[in-house]
A and B are shown apart, each in its own frame.
Chain A
Amino acid sequence: MEKKNYTVSIYTENNVGLLSRIAAIFLKRHINIESVTVSKSEVEGVMRFIIVVQVNEEQVQKVVKQIEKQIEVIKAFYHTDEEMIYQETALYKVNSSEFVGDLSIQDFIKGTNARIVTVTPKFFVIEKTGKRSETDSLYEKLKPYGLMQFVRSGTIAVTKEEMQISKLLEQFNTTN
């Protein structure tokens, strides 16, 4: 089976140690996590994990079942890139002296929809949100100017289909 990017979305209770419990499921199966983000979700008190892995569908199915088995996991899903709206954010710190005289820089920043966040006499910080390929392409463009620092966030993503976590939680409240 072909390996591709799968986004695993996990709704959980907000508890200490859950990240390591979930990470251990990938570790046990020797699956490398491409990116992970944890944040609050649309439901109060419920956290959402977004984990991107490169595996085949059978592997991601099994992993999702193992994740869902964990006591504090409310629900887990997996989706392909086509089924998600996803973004990453990158920050680029560039040396000002290399940068100031060159006006072409202004143009390609505009062209890529990147944003200058901070300007100091010593450095600029540029922020770019988009797909991996877009932040990569800006990385290549800025490299000749001397990248002092580069960092990229994990993927954040929402699904095209409805998630219905609130309904799931309501069901629990009515059955218990």
Chain B
Amino acid sequence: MEVKTASFEKLATPATTTVSGAEAVIKCLLEEGVETIYGYPGGAIMPVYDELYKYQKEIHHVLTRHEQGATHAAQGYARVTGKVGVAVATSGPGATNLVTGIADAQIDSTPLVCITGQVGSHLLGSDAFQETDIVGISTPITKWNYQITKAEEIPEIIARAFYIARSGRPGPVLIDITKDAQFASLEFSYKKCSGIRSYKPEPEISMPQLEKAAEAINSAKKPFIIFGQGVILGGAEQLLKQLVEKTDIPAAWTILGLSALSTDHPLNVGMVGMHGNYAPNMLTNECDVLIAIGMRFDDRVTGNLDKYAKQAKVIHLEIDPSEIDKNVKADIPVLGNVNKTLALLLDLVKEKEHKAWHQEFKDLYDIEFDKIIKNDLNAERGKIGMAEVIDEINTCSKGDAVIVSDVGQHQMVTCRYSKFNQTRSKVTSGGLGTMGFALPAAIGAKMGVPHREVVAVIGDGGYQMTIQELGTIFQTKVPVKIVILNNGFLGMVRQWQQLFFDKRYASTEMVNPDFVTIAKGYHIKANQVTERAQLADAVKEMMESKEAYFLEVKVEQEENVFPMVPTGAAVSEILLE
């Protein structure tokens, strides 16, 4: 009987149904395939939360402990899945608390849709309770934003929001919805957005430019590839691998490009930039053709621009025309999504061998190994080093885990030493350098790929910026693994103070609470390691835990991260000590 009634109703349902604006918001999310959202309720968004209550079987809403946590969780989710992350907040302080995450998503090209409640439209501009101009505030840090004041606008605007967030170079979109628009009703029908006349997500591809690029690559003696997150965002990892293998060109990565090519690939020569590997930094200023793929020449990558790869012909494969010539002049710009341009380029390049050139990388790696890596991994010295912890995680993960890191010394060490077999495995705040990113991002990442192990590696400083998200972990029982590398300092700032400010450690020493007790307060399994002898077993126990697990490792207090390109220096002036 029940089945019969249901199918009869289905037949009788017209193309549109009358719903409230708030319900329309949920229906839009369902139409876009959204399963999990992160947020925090409050006055101006209550109608939407009331609908979330009714739709709780269809949409999993994760209550974070702070709206910033909601954005970072949505970012973590987006980064590992490639889907659009969704964060919801109320007006006023709820909305302003999203700002850091939105700015982070903007600079790291993460697809995000943020939905904020707003005071009723009749109150706009009256300095009403919890009114803030979030559209004005978020304008410079969003790919697009819009304020909805009428319920009828909801389906079209939300469809646009998802289209804009995910297409072209992805980014965050904020949609502000007045409370009266949430209450009002509309005839609901949904059509996914497939184009906006003033917006061209991907520039046209120029074959002559590709031919020029191929010619330069084919005649190069010392070609060098630097790839960034564009490869991951474009889903072009296999094409990159094929290109690298066919042309035998050594390839290095920016921190957001990490894991696009497996770390043990023989042609993967490591990380570029301030704390990158020795060989790729040195040889950036030796190569004759520099092939930049889906990266944007951030200042942390290039060091002094006046002394950056001046000898090289620069080929820049990039989806965003505004990145061409922004920092480094491209001799051969190749516009387009790298999943298309790399496929075309692959047919045009010739098979090559560059043995002598590889030897130069190997020789420099050996120097870095002797001067730095050997010591970093050395189990003989005093206290535990950060790299040793990463090494133990690698041993357990065998390169299959998602590693989320925060910002600072531990981030650089994590990027330098983590092993990855598959793409979308490294989640970190690159461009904005947001301390506090990792814990909530790890929550989102684990929910995005529940079948994978997700380990958050965090410093004792950044951890305390979003430590309240332990509550989210406890409530949702999301089995993330948290490793705190505790050196009792804001380590990166301390390192700079030591090197450039005569060891004046202004406000970098952290007097920390008992982290294990705090974790236990949230009923999260917790352990602390102070001695090297306990480390391997402790990491193993954490990695094998079926539940969330917190591990604090007391590490060397005044360890410095090397190599290092000091501010204002050329990448080839990289210091080994």
Contact = CB atoms under 8 A, between A and B. Distances in A.
Interface in A21-78: 21, 24-25, 27-28, 61-62, 65-66, 68-69, 71-74
Contact of B322 (A12, A13, A21, A62): A62
Contact of A169 (B195, B197, B325): B197
Interface string B125-169: 000000000011001100111110000000000000000100000
B139 A20 contact: yes
Contact of A173 (B164, B197, B199, B321): B197
Given A13-B198, A176-B195, A176-B197, A71 B143 contact: yes
Contacts of B136: 17, 20
Given A17-B147, A175-B195, A176-B195, 18 more contacts: A12-B198, A13-B198, A17-B146, A20-B136, A20-B139, A65-B321, A65-B322, A65-B326, A68-B321, A68-B322, A69-B320, A71-B143, A71-B164, A71-B196, A71-B198, A72-B144, A72-B198, A169-B197
B359 interface: no
B244 to A, nearest CB: 30
17 contacts: A17-B135, A17-B139, A20-B136, A20-B139, A21-B140, A28-B140, A61-B325, A62-B326, A65-B321, A65-B324, A66-B322, A68-B322, A71-B164, A71-B198, A74-B197, A169-B197, A173-B197
Most A-side CB within 10 Å, residue of B139, B147, B164, B326: B139
Chain B interface residue bracket vs A: 20 to 34
A20 B134 CA distance: 13
A137 to B, nearest CB: 39
A164 B145 CA distance: 28
A171 B146 CA distance: 26
Contacts of A62: 322, 325-326
A142 to B, nearest CB: 39
Contacts, number: 53
Contacts of A176: 194-195, 197
Nearest to A172: B197
A65 B327 CA distance: 13
Interface string B92-136: 000000000000000000000000000000000000000000011
Interface in B187-231: 194-199
What 10 pairs between A and B have smallest CB-CB spacing? A65-B322, A176-B195, A172-B197, A24-B140, A74-B198, A71-B144, A71-B199, A69-B322, A21-B139, A72-B198
A173 B196 CA distance: 10
Contacts of B324: 65
A24 B164 CA distance: 20
Contacts of A175: 195
A149 to B, nearest CB: 29
Nearest to A64: B322
A21 B135 CA distance: 10
A28 B195 CA distance: 29
Most B-side CB within 10 Å, residue of A12, A65, A68: A65
Interface in B269-325: 320-322, 324-325
Most A-side CB within 10 Å, residue of B136, B198, B199, B326: B198
Nearest to A24: B140
Interface of A: 12-13, 16-17, 20-21, 24-25, 27-28, 61-62, 65-66, 68-69, 71-74, 169, 172-173, 175-176
A172 to B, nearest CB: 4
Contacts of B196: 71
Interface string B456-477: 0000000000000000000000
Interface of B: 135-136, 139-140, 143-147, 164, 194-199, 320-322, 324-326
A71 B200 CA distance: 8
Nearest to B160: A71
Contact of A24 (B139, B144, B199, B326): B139
Contacts of A69: 320-322
A68 B321 CA distance: 9
Contacts of A12: 198
A167 B523 CA distance: 64
Contacts of A68: 321-322
A69 B200 CA distance: 9
Most A-side CB within 10 Å, residue of B196, B199, B326: B199
A72 B144 CA distance: 9
B198 A73 contact: yes
Nearest to B141: A24
Nearest to B200: A172
A172 B195 contact: yes
A59 to B, nearest CB: 11
Nearest to B149: A16
B550 to A, nearest CB: 40
Contacts of B139: 17, 20-21, 24
Contacts of A17: 135-136, 139, 145-147
Nearest to B145: A17
A135 to B, nearest CB: 33
Contacts of B146: 17
Contacts of B144: 71-72
Contacts of B198: 12-13, 71-74
B158 to A, nearest CB: 15
A16 B124 CA distance: 14
A91 B199 CA distance: 39
B482 to A, nearest CB: 36
A62 B195 CA distance: 25
Contacts of B321: 65, 68-69
Nearest to A169: B197
A13 B144 CA distance: 13
A63 B498 CA distance: 38
A143 B139 CA distance: 42
B175 to A, nearest CB: 13
A173 B197 CA distance: 7
Nearest to A22: B139
A69 B324 CA distance: 13
A62 B324 CA distance: 9
A60 B196 CA distance: 26
Contacts of B322: 62, 65-66, 68-69
A16 B140 CA distance: 15
A25 B321 CA distance: 16
Nearest to B144: A71
Contacts of B197: 13, 74, 169, 172-173, 176
Contacts of B195: 172, 175-176
Contacts of B145: 17
Nearest to B195: A176
Contacts of A61: 325
